[in-house]
Structure formats: structure tokens, C-alpha cells
Amino acid sequence: MKHARRVTQGVFLVVFFFLFLQTESKGTDELGYPVKLFIDFDPLIFLSTILSSHALAAALYLSIILIVLTMLLGRVFCGWVCPLGTLNNIIGSMKRWPPREKARNWFRVKYYILFFILTSSLFTMQLVGIMDPLSLVVRSFSLSIYPAFNYSVNAALDAAYKLNVKGITTVADYVYEISKKTVLAFQQPYFTQGVFVGLLFIGILALNLVERRFWCRYLCPLGALLGLLSRYPLLKRTASEGCNACGACEYSCQGNAKPGDPGTWMPTECLYCWNCDDMCPRDGVSFRFSIKKAPAKLDLGRRKVLASALAGAAAVPLFRATPVFKSGYPDPGLIRPPGALEEREFLAKCVKCGECMKVCTTNGLQPTLFEAGAEGIWSPMLVPRIGYCEYKCTLCGQVCPTGAIQKLAFEDKAKVKIGTAMVDRSRCLPFAHAIPCIVCEEMCPLPKKAIWFEETRAMNRDGKPVEVKQPHVDLELCTGCGICETKCPLVGKPGIYITSIGETRSKENQLLLGSRESSPSL
């Protein structure tokens, strides 16, 4: 069985990475692959999103399949499917373990984490994405591991090209062409928190060297939820009467499910890896369908359950009594992608998976740190100096698993303002320095451009008049896409920049009389 499991794990990991690599524009309006499929199957995100937003994305109903499957078969997802579980498995097997290594008894911790997350969700604060394993693994690869991988391949190729030796250059060309078509990103991605997100992920993987599947056994809230669902599984482990409690299985158990004694086996902790079956010197272990009660009960302790739930509730005011939640005090730099819900609703749905940032064609979507408060960490915001919102692109809404960013047709997206551009007259070349420049207007993608010119004569130092076109922004037309800021030739601090003011999704964050007060939010 071990081989069957490993092959299955490998297949799912390959599918996961394949879908991950497809989370990239090919220039067409749609991606053509269900790239968020793994998250669609995630019952933890399903449950916490229902709690936090009292609504959910239709695709998440797929997670009901996993719920039913877990109730019947136990945590097979953890043992056979989960990409983070498989990675943990791989890292854990890299260390040579001393025989009879004793496991910790911390398995309850993950349940307390789960109760904390779900209670805070109930009070509308969506923290699930921080520790949900699928969200975590997509985010870590999107923002950190994959950009680093790209960087290393490109750096190696650059070094090869620099040698400028005919044979090496030819090989480098060949490698470049192949990798460009298969695993490399179209352009090197850069993310503001790559190091932070990456180190956390590497830390989680490194925990496998402390104890195998440390994350899965003690920390994973999805594992905890699946554990609760598998309290009474139909598929059960049984040991034959010949079992002399030799303990061989105990040390090969991936989930620390205490299989050593038939009476202590915990179905909620079992990952159905089948190692105990393979290891048993007497061939006494088997997994069978039965409706008999499982031997060991899951005892979490009523007080601790209550305490973790209370902590989850208490965290909500703690996280929210910050100026971000002060009325009429929006962060001007918090430019959300087009289709993003009103900020509160958005935060209630965003699970920080990073799919939108991975797919963003210009690399402009970056993870927040505290711009949206602590609870909004790693949610997407547009940083136009890094990349703008491509006028006809609607991919971020297509890949968002929870509908925090709505899926919009181009015609609808074109009407959405994510912010407004303003000219900094103290830097803009035609205003401040009598130097001609029209790049912002040239780039403006609107059929009727939102940037218009005042043709005037400015004076240069010699007192000579210079004809310049000074840009002005049409506050009604401008959608805040930010291409003007991205392409402004003033590197560093631009001469034209976007802030979130005027964004369609907000009723408060407006500036024009009569512009949005009465219009419904998107």
C-alpha cells in the first residue's frame, strides 16, 4: 500500500504544481484551467467563509465532496492528497530518525487553533488563510518559492551568457527556450514580502526535522477539521488477535495515531498512510469497513476548547481597534484589485491564498502587511510603481476562490474605479521643469483618455518660453488602473500617482459631489 500511496501523493503534487504553473496569463482572456481547484475542495475555507461572510462562492461546494469522503474514509486527504502534507512527508523522510523516537503529545493544539479561527470567523474576522494549508502553500509558492526559483534559473543563465563561450551560450539558449516554455514565469515575479512569507514556509517544512509531519500532527487547522469529521469513519484500522504490542507500527505512524495498542488507535489522528500495515512483522494490521465504534475517543477538554473559542472572539476587537477601521480614514495606498468587495466584506472573504497575485499580469498586485490591519495581512493591493492593472485583464477575479474579488466580464470591469490618478505638479516634468513629456496620457488605455492637456507656455531658466502640455486627470473617467504611474519616466517618486480615492466599492472614499453617494456598491 505504501507504494500506492506514494504514487498517489506524487500524482496530486504534480497536478498541484501543474495548476500552479497555469496560473499565469497566456494573453487570452481566460486561463483555460481550473487553477484554484485544490482550494475549491477545502472544507475549512468553505466553513470559515460561511461563518465570516454568511455567503460563499459556488465553487466551494466542491468541498462537500471532501467532507463526505472524510466522514467515510477518515483523513485520507491528509495522507494521500494534500500538497503540503506530501511536502512535509518528503522533508521528514530526509532525516535519519533514531529507532523508537518518541512522539510528542501535542495533537490537541491544532484543534484549539481551529476553534480559534472558526470563532473569529463567526465574529466576521477571517484569519483562516494564514494557516489553512492550501492557502499557505499556494501563497508561499506564489510570493516566495517560485519567484526565488525563477531568479535562480535566470541568474544561472545570465552567468552562462556572461562567459560568452560559444558552446555554453548555445546550451544556455537551449535551456532557456525549454524552461521558458515549461517552468519559468513569463517575467521574473517580485514580491514585497517574499522573504517573510518564504521563511515562514521553510520554517514549517523544517519542523519536519524536529518531528515527522509536525505541522500535520500538531498545527494544521484543516487537519483538525478533517479530524473532527473522522471521529466515526467507516474505514477502520484493526489489529488481529496475534498483536503482541511490539510497537513496530507506533514508530512508523505518520499521524501519531497511537496504533501500537489496538485499544488506543485514534481515527482522528490517523492519516491512513498504511505504514502500520506494511510494518507489522506479524502481518496483523488491516483496514476494513465496519460500523463498530472506534476504540479511542477524542478528548479535547471542555475548558480548553472554550478558552480557544473565547480567544478567537476576543481577537476580533483586539485586531480591529486600529485606525484602519476608523470611519472615513481609508488608507490611500490600499488600492484593491477591480471587483474587490467593499473593504469589510472583502476582508471577510479574502483567504490570502495569493492566487490573484500569482496571476496578475503586471506583478502589480502585492501582499499587504498592515495596510489593511493585522487581519488583512497578505491580502492583495495594487502597487502601481511595480505594476498597473491591465485594462482588459480580468484574471484576478477569475482565480479568486471565495469571491472576495468578483469575477467580472471586461465590459463590467471597465466601469470599475479602483482609485484615481493625481498629478504631482512639483515633480511632473511639464509642470515643474518646462520639459515636454506626455507618457501618462499616451499610456492611458481608456477609449476617451482620462488624461487631458492644458497647452501652455512655460518659462525656462533663460526666460525662453517653451510649449508644454501639462496633464490633468478627468476625475470621472479615470479608473485608477495606474499605468500612468507605472510608466511615468520619473523613476522613484512619480509625477503622477494613484490613491484609492474614488474607488467604486466604497461609499466613503469619494471626493466628487454627487458622484457615488446614491449609487449601489458593486
Partner 1 sequence: MERRDFLKAAAAAGVGLAIPDKLNTLLHAATTAVTQRIDLAICHGASPAAITRAAVDALGGMRHFISKGDVVVVKPNIGWDRTPEQAANTNPLVVATLVLMCYEAGAKKVKVFDRSCDDARRCYVQSGIPLAAEAAGAEVSFINDRKFKEVAIGGERIKSWLLYTELLEADKIINVPIAKTHSLAKLTMSLKNWMGVMGGPRGRIHQGIDEALVDLALVIKPALTVLDAVRILTANGPTGGSLNDVKKLDTVIAGVDQIAIDSYGATLFGMTGNDLGFVRAGARRGIGTMDLSKLSIKKIEA
List residues near partner 1 by CB under 8 A: 25-28, 158, 161, 186, 361-362, 390-393, 429, 435-439, 441-449, 453, 469, 483, 487-489, 491
Q: Is the Cβ of residue 353 or residue 429 nearer to partner 1 in the bound state?
A: 429
291 or 491: whose CB is closer to partner 1?
491
Task: Give least dist CB 489 to partner 1, A.
Answer: 4
Q: Which is nearer to partner 1, 203 or 489 (CB)?
A: 489
For residue 239, how far is the Cα from the chain centroid?
Answer: 41
CB of 27 to partner 1, least distance (A): 3
Residue 280: C-alpha distances to residues 74, 103, 257, 518 (Å) = 21, 19, 15, 71
* Between 324 and 444, CB nearer to partner 1: 444
Distance in Å, CB of 404 to partner 1, minimum: 23
The whole-angstrom separation of Cα 440 and Cα 250 is 67
Element (H, E) at 159: helix 146-163
φ and ψ of 83, to 5 deg: -65, -35
Q: How far apart are CA 234 and CA 240, in angstroms?
A: 18
H/E stretch holding 473 reads strand 465-473
Cα gap 120→107, rounded to integer Å = 21
CB of 354 to partner 1, least distance (A): 20
Query: Could you tell me the three cell numbers for 319?
Result: 485586531
Q: Considering beta carbons, is residue 422 or 438 the nearer one to partner 1?
A: 438
User: Taking a C-beta distance cutoff of 8 angstroms, is the pair 89, 272 a contact?
Assistant: no
Q: Which is nearer to partner 1, 83 or 338 (CB)?
A: 338
Q: Nearer Cβ to partner 1, position 226 or 481?
A: 481
Q: Which residue has the cell 504534480?
A: 14
Joined grid coordinates for residue 411 = 465590459
Nearer to partner 1, 103 or 423 (CB): 423
- Tell me which H or E stretch contains 137: helix 133-140
Please, what is the minimum distance in Å from the beta carbon of residue 159 to partner 1? 12
Could you tell me the smallest distance in angstroms from the CB atom of residue 136 to partner 1? 29
3-state SS assignment for residue 452: strand
CB 316 within 8 A of CB 120: yes
What SS3 state is found at 236?
strand
> How near is the Cβ of 125 to partner 1 at its closest, in Å?
35
Nearest-approach distance from CB 376 to partner 1, in angstroms? 27
The 8-class DSSP code of residue 144 comes to I
